[in-house]
Structure formats: structure tokens, C-alpha cells
Chain A
Amino acid sequence: MFSNFFQYILSGTATTVSVTLVALPLGLMVALAFSLAYVYGRTPIPAVIGLYSTLMRGVPPIVLLFILYFVVSGSVNLSPFWAGSLSLGIISSAYQLEILRGAILSVSGGQMMAARAIGMSRWRAVRYIVLPQALRLAIPGWSNEASIVLKDSSLVYALGVTEILRRAQQLSATTQNPFLAYSAAALIYFLLVFATNRLLDWIARRTRIPAHF
């Protein structure tokens, strides 16, 4: 009985992981482009991106999720899974953009100047000198955002996607044991977040620049 119970919730885990694996990289790609445009873009661009970031971060994710879901699914025919994942990715892009922007600005301007001095174009200097250092600096903040997206993926439950929380709720209803059902969900989330953070810690250690602070 118990193993069935656990297996049932576990089958929602694949969906949770999938939602996260769509939302996080999507958010990262958008954030990377936007953060570069924010820092290096010409006059109206930083202001526009700043507004995007402020609006996205100023509204609860669940509210944005509903808005984006109805906008997205109103214009294209998408399953709740895809609409939810894409929406979460867009929300996350605003946070990731701020993480990356901070990291890019933390790389001293001298690095850019030295790169230009050997004849690198602005773009090459960003690509080969600034970004490799900025991305390293961004890992701790990004690790935090990754765990938030992983946990926020439970929000797509509201769209009817059967991920961990949805499964737990169904079990709670059928077994009349909500404590056990939700505790099992909590445990799975915790293990996923824990593993993600450990993985990123490991990457941070592996890519550390020797004797550099």
C-alpha cells in the first residue's frame, strides 16, 4: 500500500522536473540576451528592459501565470504543460536577468578596457572576457533561482498539470490522509532542490578561478 502511494506521487515528479527543465533554460536564454542589452544597449533599450524586469518581479507568479496562460493559450493552441512551462520561464527570466546583470557589472570595467586594448571588438570582449567571469559570479544567485523555479513549478498545478502537488492532492482526497500525502510531496521537492543546489555548488567549485576573489 505505502509503496504504491509513494510511486503515485513519484510519477508526478517527472512532470515537475520537465516543467523546470523547460522554464529554467528558457528563462536563462532570455535573461542572457536581456542582461547584455541592459548593460551594453543604447539609450531606450535599458529602460525598456528595466520596465520589463520591474513589472515581472512586482506581481505574484501565480497571477502572472494565469495572465500569461490565457494570453499564450489564447493565441496559440498549447497544452497546459507547455503554456505553464513557458510562462514560468518568462517570469523567471526577469529574476535571472537581474542576477546576470549584477554579475556582469561586478566584472571590473578594466577587464573590458584591457580586452579592447588588444583589439577585441565589444562583442568579443563580452564573449571571451566579461561573460566567462560574470557567469562564474552568477552561479550562487542562479542556484537560488533554480530552486525557486523548481518549487514554483508546483504553480502549474493550478492549470491542471499533473505534477507532484496535483498527485499529492489526488492522493490526499482518496486516502483521507492529507498529512502523509503532502509530506511525501514536500520530501520529493526537498530532495530535488537539495540535489540541484549540490550540483551547482559542485560546478561553482570546479570552475573557481585559482587565487581570485
Chain B
Amino acid sequence: MAGPILEVRAITKKYGKNIVFQDISTTVNEGETVVVIGPSGTGKSTLLRCINLLTRVDRGQIYLDGREITAPGTDEDEVRQHIGMVFQNFLLFNHLTALDNVQIGLRRVKGMPPETAYQKAMAELERVGLADRAGHYPGQLSGGQQQRVAIARALAMDPRIMLFDEPTSALDPELIGEVLEVMRKLALEGMTMLVVTHEMGFAREVADRIIFMEGGRIVEEGPPEIMFGAPQNARTREFLWKITELYGKHEGQGRGNPG
């Protein structure tokens, strides 16, 4: 596997006295899919926001392609262009069609000429299987379709890494599959991805590495076979047991192939 794209070194985030996470260090290599799991409130989403510089870390450094992006004087807007972000609640631009949602970054951030931007945006919509919905507004799309447009919007910027913040948590169960399908395809195409999710089937099947976070720390990390087969830590075992009991049922019905 190729070298590191993202490197996180001992980062800490606090809100006042409340420590969200502490001394988190990890590396995501090119083409790798890393899945972060753990109970809610353990700082997983905040971790993604810090990596994307939407929130500032209190201590530690973050490197993207070997360049420290937490250094003072970094052009944060420029950095964010290279980090794709997919949110739990989609956050499509409400006043724009699917096509314009994907196009606007190309036009207004990258300054692409209209024709080139259009071609690129249509190609990205094609990639998530929604070229036929290009003219639809967010309110006219299902949740699953909205999330796929959001993925296309992030992909259009040609990011070095894609961050997914519980991308299926706000979806009706029958719409989850189509989003996971797109993500699975991206992973196969070699996209570098860091995914926070409760979808254990996806984690087991697609992840190269799984990170279990709890109480603002990384408790355990490793390849899915080990994490699901023989986790070393008692807390990891307990969490996986709980979550599999909770989500396990519909996993067998076609989404994610265990083992």
C-alpha cells in the first residue's frame, strides 16, 4: 500500500473543561478505507470536523500529504478543497438542483469554465447513479438520493481523502443500501476514505482497518477479521456484541456480507 495521505498526531479537542477526545493518533494510507466505530458522544464526528478544519484542535498536528494543515497561516479554504466531507444530514444546498450542487464548487471555488464544470458534474452524478436526477432540487429527492448527490458534490472537487460522518444514520432502512453501495464502489476504485458509521456489515466487508473509539480515546484498532473475530479489549467485544445484536438482523438481508 502507498504512503500516508492523512496523518493525525496526538490531537486533543476540548470544549471548556470537557475533553471531547485526547491524544488521538492515526494514519490513513492512500487507497485505504478506515472505519471508526464507537458509542455516541465519543468524539468521532468532532474528530472528522477537526481533520476538515471545520473545528480547531487544541493540541497536536494534522498532516495532509505530508504538509501540516494545522500550522498557523495555513490557507484553510485551500486545504478543504482536498478533503471531501459527507455529513449525516446530507446538507445539500437547498436552492440548487442536484447538478448545481455538484457544479458550484467547480465553478465558484475552482473557477472552472461552465462547460467543463458541467461535464465534470454530470460525470460525478453518473458515478453515483443519479445523472437522470440532475435537474431535481434536494426537496424532490429521497434521502438516499440526497446523500448520493452529497457524495458526488464532494467527489467533484477531486479530494485526496473522503470523510464520511455517519452517512446512513439519518436514512430510512430501505435507503441505506444504495448509499453503502456507492461507498463500497468508491473503496474498490481506490478512494482513500475515513468513515464513521454504525454499519457493521459495511465495516466488516469494506474496511482495511477498524478503529474503536470510546471516551475520547482510541481503545483498539486493527483489521476487521481481528476486530470482529478476536478483539483484544473487553470494551471492544462488549460494544461489538451490543451493536451486532442491534443492527445485526437486517445485515443478513443483502447489505454487507459478513466475513
A interface residues, Cβ below 8 angstroms from B: 110-111, 113-121, 124, 128-129, 132-133, 136, 209-213
Residues of A contacting B: mostly: helix
Digitize B54-94: 1 where CB-to-A-CB distance is under 8 Å, 0 elsewhere. 10000000000000000000000111110111010101111
B interface residues, how many (CB within 8 angstroms): 29
Q: In the complex, A132 Cα to B95 Cα: how many Å?
A: 7
Q: A118-B81, A120-B108 are in contact. Are A111 and B139 (CB under 8 A)?
A: no
Known: A209-B95, A210-B140. 18 other contacts (CB 8 A): A110-B87, A111-B94, A113-B54, A114-B85, A114-B93, A116-B54, A117-B54, A117-B80, A119-B79, A119-B80, A119-B81, A119-B105, A119-B109, A120-B109, A124-B109, A128-B108, A129-B104, A212-B138
Q: In the complex, A136 Cα to B137 Cα: how many Å?
A: 16
Contact A114 B80 (CB under 8 A): no
Q: Which residue of B78, B79, B87 is within 8 Å of A114 (Cβ)?
A: B87
Contact B89 A212 (CB under 8 A): no
Distance between A44 CB and nearest chain B CB, rounded to angstroms:
23
Contact A124 B108 (CB under 8 A): yes
Q: Which residue of B77, B85, B95 is within 8 Å of A120 (Cβ)?
A: B77
Q: In the complex, A177 Cα to B138 Cα: how many Å?
A: 60
Distance between B104 CB and nearest chain A CB, rounded to angstroms:
6
Q: Which residues of A contact B83 (CB under 8 A)?
A: 117
Q: In the complex, A120 Cα to B77 Cα: how many Å?
A: 6
Contact A119 B87 (CB under 8 A): no
Q: Which residue of A113, A118, A119, A212 is within 8 Å of B139 (Cβ)?
A: A212
Q: Which residues of A contact B145 (CB under 8 A)?
A: none
The answer to whether B44 has its CB under 8 Å from any CB of chain A is no
Distance between A191 CB and nearest chain B CB, rounded to angstroms:
33
The answer to whether B154 has its CB under 8 Å from any CB of chain A is yes
Query: Top 4 closest A-B pairs, CB basis?
Result: A211-B139, A119-B81, A114-B91, A118-B105
Q: Which residue of A129, A211, A213 is within 8 Å of B140 (Cβ)?
A: A211
Q: In the complex, A14 Cα to B80 Cα: how many Å?
A: 53
Q: Which residue of A lies closest to B154 (CB)?
A: A118
Q: Which residues of B contact A129 (CB under 8 A)?
A: 93, 95, 104
The answer to whether B204 has its CB under 8 Å from any CB of chain A is no
Q: In the complex, A210 Cα to B83 Cα: how many Å?
A: 30
Q: Which residues of B contact A128 (CB under 8 A)?
A: 104, 108
Q: Which residues of A contact B95 (CB under 8 A)?
A: 129, 132-133, 136, 209, 212
